[in-house]
A and B are shown apart, each in its own frame.
Chain A
């Protein structure tokens, strides 16, 4: 088991290093590093001082090492717009994004798995056909447009939900969490559903495909031959086998959700890091862009790693294979 973890850790570190190289070269070779890292408002003298200070007159590989050294210490430079440490600004926004992403993830699981299970067990019923038709709609919908429509219907026309922003927060362990307050929930509902829409379709399709495959297996027939109730056969024998591949995919989707939150956060003015990055790209606040890219790559790789480990815990067959290896 530990061999497996070590191997995956090594792979993950290599990916992060590769990404840092891409970001670094993207900034320093493709883009003009002077424009990117130094505030374009500076005059000539300040410019030269800044170039020296940032070490831009050093050879490229040395610059890269400096970049890495700074990155490991959490220094990605100061934001042009806000003047504060880029990293700090992003980290402040992470809880809001994570809250949104997690809520969307949980929603997609709670709604998607039962629907997919039903569609898989009774594929010919009209309800199932509706579900599957709905799922096509789900991943064809442009998320941002649906968000706008939701605001128009629920906030403007019906007036039942707030249109934008995050609700009241409660601070637990230094983190600000909003779903624990009623106001917070009201603000969270629409963006979370909006973000979840795409994933719900995915979960439905995945669960349905898994169900249809599992139901044909011998062990399901054997379970029925033992006289087990249909409910137990489905909820224990079938579901547990489906959950393994579904959970893996869903786990990886968390990363996707975090990345895609840039859209939802923009539509709903949700104060997460997604909104920050879009604003920063538009205002060319490069230190934040660099910091965001590195952080999100790091988050991504970590999530993949955790999901892989989780998978081996859930599927006892995989566990044993690694012991043998």
Chain B
């Protein structure tokens, strides 16, 4: 009994063996560039990272140096000037801080916390995922049950729970963010590792007596990396959003390290009196950051996932 090709819209194309004229990296880049929007988003994001890193050099004012701010300048609308003639492009907050500078510093904090927690969560999750895939059996089941359990709860709830128990502080926030993210990384890495482990080339490599380390780095990694990158971009965006939400609620970063969330919270009480700029501009900065990350992440996913082209 033969099962012939399914009645799909495209008749069966016989696979052809084509010699790869370009490396997979070149192909990845050329595929990615196809989507102009994603390229634009990437440029924007690189710009944001640049601003975040060089904030102290780029800001017109250091908003957290008490010597530079004057409460008389408080609550000025965008485009005003201080008494000494300095322009406040985006207005000032209630303490007289220049919004533009505050946003630059805020981006620094938000991105820094998001990136750091993401990176640690990635390492932690990857280790756990690899452990689960490597040992298999009971260990694997146990770890995966934990992962599923955690993933079935909303991130904000887990963060709330942890912060309620642990209290305030930068380190506590980062712990909470890591706790929220590690499970995604663990699951992704474990899934990829399992798929790769069962593939023939791993067995072949074993037969050729390659060392385990070589197998992991030269063979496993290149295949585990793509889905990890995709998950990573999404997770970083989530982490930044979550941190700003928590900071807004008042249980996030302390006032001494204001992120964009806190800036928005500061402006909350002024919204009813029409002083929109104190909340508006930090929010726009946050929005642009998240959107650019998500657009890049979307395109990465489209490019890295369909392995039909291989």
Listed in ascending order, the chain A residues whose CB lies under 8 Å from chain B are 15, 18, 22-23, 26-27, 30-31, 136-137, 139-145, 148-149, 151-152, 155-157, 163, 216, 218, 221, 252, 255-256, 259-260, 262-263, 266-267, 277-278, 281-282, 289, 293, 296, 300, 304
Q: Which of B100-108, B115-123, B267-275 contacts A (4 or more CB under 8 A)?
A: B267-275
Residue of A nearest to B297 (CB): A136
User: Are B241 and A281 touching (Cβ within 8 A)?
Assistant: no
A143 and B287 form a contact (CB under 8 A): no
Known: A142-B241, A144-B264. A293 touches B161 (CB 8 A): yes
Partner pick for B164 among A149, A221, A260, A289, CB 8 A cutoff? A289
Contacts known (A30-B165, A142-B283); A263 close to B245, Cβ less than 8 A = yes
User: B268 to A148, Cβ gap below 8 A?
Assistant: yes
Q: Is B294 within 8 A of A216, CB to CB?
A: no
Contact call A148/B156, Cβ cutoff below 8 A: no
- Could you say which residues of chain B place their CB within 8 Å of the CB of A263? 156, 245, 248-249
Docked pose: A286 CA to B157 CA in angstroms: 16
Q: Which of A148, A218, A255 contacts B154 (CB 8 A)?
A: A255
CA distance A231 to B161 in the complex (A): 48
17 contacts between A and B (CB under 8 A): A27-B165, A30-B165, A31-B165, A31-B166, A141-B290, A142-B244, A148-B268, A151-B271, A156-B272, A157-B274, A218-B6, A262-B156, A263-B248, A266-B249, A277-B160, A278-B251, A300-B153
Q: Is B286 an interface residue (CB 8 A)?
A: yes
Write out the residue numbers on chain B whose beta carbons fall within 8 Å of the beta carbon of A304.
152
Chain B contacts for A218, CB-based, 8 A: 6-7
Residue in B7, B9, B167, B279 whose beta carbon sits within 8 Å of that of A145 in the complex: B279
Asked if B250 CB lies within 8 Å of chain A CBs, one says yes
Q: Are A152 and B6 in contact (CB under 8 A)?
A: no
- A149–B274 Cα distance when bound, in Å, is 11
Contact A148 B9, CB 8 Å, known A281-B160, A282-B251: no
- Is B149 at the interface (CB under 8 A from chain A)? yes
Residues 261-295 of B, flagged 1 when their CB comes within 8 A of A and 0 if not, give 10010011001101010011001001100110011
- Asked whether, in the complex, the Cβ of B164 is within 8 Å of the Cβ of A148, the reply is no
8 A Cβ contacts from B199-237 to A: 237
* Closest residue on chain B to residue A136 by CB atoms: B294
Give the residue name and chain of the A residue nearest to B274 (CB). Answer: A156
**Additional pairs, 7, CB under 8 Å, beyond known A26-B165, A141-B287, A263-B245:** A23-B161, A31-B166, A140-B294, A142-B244, A155-B272, A281-B160, A304-B152
* Minimal beta-carbon separation of A72 from chain B (angstroms): 21
Residue of A nearest to B146 (CB): A18
* Residue of B160, B167, B267, B295 with most partner-chain A CB within 10 A: B160
Pick the residue among A23, A144, A281 that contacts B248 (CB under 8 A).
A144
User: What is the distance, in angstroms, from A142's C-beta to the closest C-beta of chain B?
Assistant: 5
* A78 CA to B261 CA, complexed, in Å: 32
Residues of B contacting A152 in the complex (Cβ-Cβ under 8 angstroms): 271, 274, 276, 279-280
Q: Contact check, A142 vs B157: say whether CB atoms are below 8 A apart.
A: no
Contacts of B81 in A (CB 8 A): none
- Name the A residues within 8 Å of B267 (CB-CB): 148
Q: How far is the CB of A152 from chain B (nearest CB, A)?
A: 5
Output the nearest chain A residue to B157 by Cβ-Cβ distance. Answer: A259
**B94 partner residues in chain A, CB cutoff 8 A:** none
A137 and chain B: residue at smallest CB distance: B291
Q: When the two chains form their complex, are residues A216 and B152 in contact, meaning their CB atoms are under 8 A apart?
A: no
A124 to chain B, nearest CB (A): 15
Q: Which of A140, A155, A163, A255 lies in contact with B291, CB distance below 8 A?
A: A140
A304 to B152 Cα, complex, angstroms: 9
Bound-complex Cα distance A304 to B151 (A):
12
Contact with A along B38-50 (1 / 0, CB 8 A): 0000000000000
A136 to B290, CA, bound (A): 10
B250 touches which one: A26, A260, A282 (CB < 8 A)?
Answer: A282
Report the Cα distance A137→B37, complex, angstroms: 13
Residues A140 and B165 in contact, CB atoms below 8 Å apart: no
Once the chains bind, are A136 and B291 in contact (CB under 8 Å)?
Answer: yes
Is B154 in contact with A259, judged by CB distance below 8 angstroms? Answer: yes
| Min CB gap B248→A, angstroms | 5
A61 to B160, CA, bound (A): 26
In the bound complex, CA of A23 to CA of B272 (Å)? 39
Q: How far is the CB of B3 from chain A (nearest CB, A)?
A: 14
Q: Is the CB of A256 within 8 A of B154?
A: yes
B6 CB contacts on chain A under 8 angstroms:
218
Which residues from chain B contact A139 at a C-beta distance below 8 Å? 294
Contact A145 B286 (CB under 8 A): yes
Task: Give the CA-CA distance A139 to B149 in the complex, in Å.
Answer: 23
- B245 to chain A: closest CB distance in Å? 6
Q: Do the beta carbons of B290 and A142 come within 8 Å of each other?
A: yes
Is B298 an interface position by the 8 A CB rule?
Answer: yes
Question: Would you call B163 an interface residue if the criterion is a C-beta within 8 Å of the partner chain's C-beta atoms?
Answer: yes
Nearest chain B CB to A86's CB is how many angstroms away? 13
Q: Is B271's CB under 8 angstroms from A148's CB?
A: yes
Q: Closest approach, in angstroms, between the C-beta of B193 and any C-beta of chain A?
A: 26
- Interfacial chain A residues near B249, Cβ < 8 Å: 144, 262-263, 266, 278
Asked whether B156 lies within 8 Å of A216 as measured between CB atoms, the reply is no
A216–B8 CB distance below 8 A = yes
CB contact between A156 and one of B157, B271, B295 (< 8 Å): that residue:
B271
Nearest CB of A to B45, in Å = 12
Which residues from A are CB-within-8-Å of B157? 259, 296, 300
Q: In the complex, which residue of chain B has the Cβ closest to the Cβ of A18?
A: B149
B154 touches A260 (CB 8 A): yes
Across the interface, do B286 and A142 meet the contact criterion of CB distance under 8 Å?
Answer: yes
